[in-house]
Amino acid sequence: MSNPLYDTLFGHHTGKPTQFIHLPDGKMITHDDFLHITARYANALTKLGMKAGDRVAVQIEKSPEAIAIYAACAQAGLVFLPLNTGYTPEEVGYFIGNSGARIFICDSAKAVSLKPNAQTSGAMLVTLDADGTGSFSDLAKTLPDSFATVDRTRDDLAALLYTSGTTGRSKGAMLTQNNLISNAQTLAKLWQFTADDILLHALPIFHTHGLFVAINTTLIAGGAMILLPKFNLDQIIAKLPKATTMMGVPTFYTRLLADPRFTGDLTRHMRLFTSGSAPLLAETHIQFEHRTGHRILERYGMTETNMTTSNPYDGERRAGTVGPALPGVEVKITDTKTGATLPDGEVGQLEVRGPNVFKGYWQMPEKTREELRQDGFFITGDLGLIDQYGYIQIVGRDKDLIISGGYNIYPKEVELVLDEQAGVLESAVIGLPHPDFGETALAVLVPKKDANPDIEAISENIAKSLARFKHPRKLVLLGELPRNTMGKVQKNVLRDQFKDIFAE
């Protein structure tokens, strides 16, 4: 037997002194150096009593050591459970308890506040800090830097990632070795990653985007990464000349465009910029291309499916779309009530099937049956359409659909019109309770810098573009939209903030 995930991503680098991780201070870690750290960590996890299939919960800052924990879990046949560093002790307690994690690795600075929740949930707490110190690394240093890789199969569970949980308790998405391997192989080929690539990595690594898309794709191609703790404008601009690729979220690109140092000369050696985790404004696409000559490649995925679609590397990258389905992945648009497949051009729920799709929700068989059909199609909860070119457009979340007086209002359609209005940087349209219509639309507008959008003029312009029932009942100005760590607009926060605006 073998261990497909470890062998495919990590094992083939054994003994290679090739560049892998470049740190902000100029230090560099080779693939071989990294695998020696990984082996010590795998030995430490085993010494602490972990056996194949056990879950390891991790809430630590981004660092090479944090990536080595992921690799060590793969090598030892353990299930990796990364947690958002912003989660509170109470939230962490839920994740540990629900997953049944036997070990919880956290920063030493948070150990005192997190220990009671870890102990209550039955997990042993050890520490690992971003500088490589902590009780876990102290143990690892005493152990060999080689480890006999544990046999696993492609169907074995490799990771447990919890969804953001904007409605109800978070669900643990079970990702197999095959889910991760197949997606990395597809993306590396599609985006033409090679051993010559150097990825500028400023994403968090507790999320699919920064962890499995960025790191797995780089590993499988044998390339290197410039590992930044987080997005820092000065660091990004300083490191861009040394990179060939960059993966980001829309806010990365809007912040770069706002800085006069970000020029075509700074990016002339780059071959690829990708964006995901949240929709990219068409205006950002246009500005970025005008400034740099590069057209951002937008793609689409989610925790349960890894990456699902992508604009082409060679071919037209269409603003406002997330491209066709990836090779080997099936996507269809279905009626939200009947599940029947809809013709191209019609809006419905987006369903996905392929080797990238997770095996279900941890300890939630009923929820799994609700969202993962028997034929393998996963109901994403996103609403979209397939256009005449076969490109997919995401128009919003099913839960964000507004039904006003019996009419369906798709927020994205209204937002696209609002975003084009004078003085408007971006917008969010939400449904709120209304005494006459059941619910109605509210538009939240973020002004451009030093702009003062004319609300009356915008309302008049909307009337020229949209049917009356789609018009927002009110338009309000807000300094910025609330977002989560991956840049997604938190419409649930807006709904709570403005919930009584139509109550009068």
Which contiguous run of DSSP H or E holds residue 324? none
- pLDDT tens figures, 467-489: 788 899 999 999 999 988 777 88
Strands (E), 83-151: 103-106, 124-127
pLDDT at res. 166: 42
* E-only strand ranges, 262-387: 272-275, 297-302, 306-310, 330-334, 348-353, 378-386
pLDDT value, residue 408:
73
Question: What's domain 191-295's architecture?
Answer: 3-Layer(aba) Sandwich (3.40)
Weakly modelled stretches of the chain, pLDDT under 50: 165-167
Identical fold between 4-152 and 401-497: no
pLDDT tens per residue, range 66-78: 999 999 999 999 9
Return the domain boundaries, the chain: 4-152, 191-295, 401-497
The domain defined by 401-497 folds into GMP Synthetase; Chain A, domain 3 (3.30.300)
Backbone angles phi, psi at 413, to 5 degrees: -60, -40
Determine phi and psi for 476, rounding to 5 degrees.
Answer: -125, 150
Task: From residue 350, give the alpha-carbon distance in Å to each of 65, 121, 297, 331, 373.
Answer: 37, 37, 21, 7, 13
Fold of 4-152: Rossmann fold (3.40.50)
Which region holds residue 316: left if phi is over 0, alpha if psi is between -120 and 50, else beta?
beta
For residues 20 and 35, what is the distance between their CA atoms, to the nearest angstrom?
Answer: 11
- pLDDT value of position 93: 92
pLDDT at residue 406, as a whole number: 66
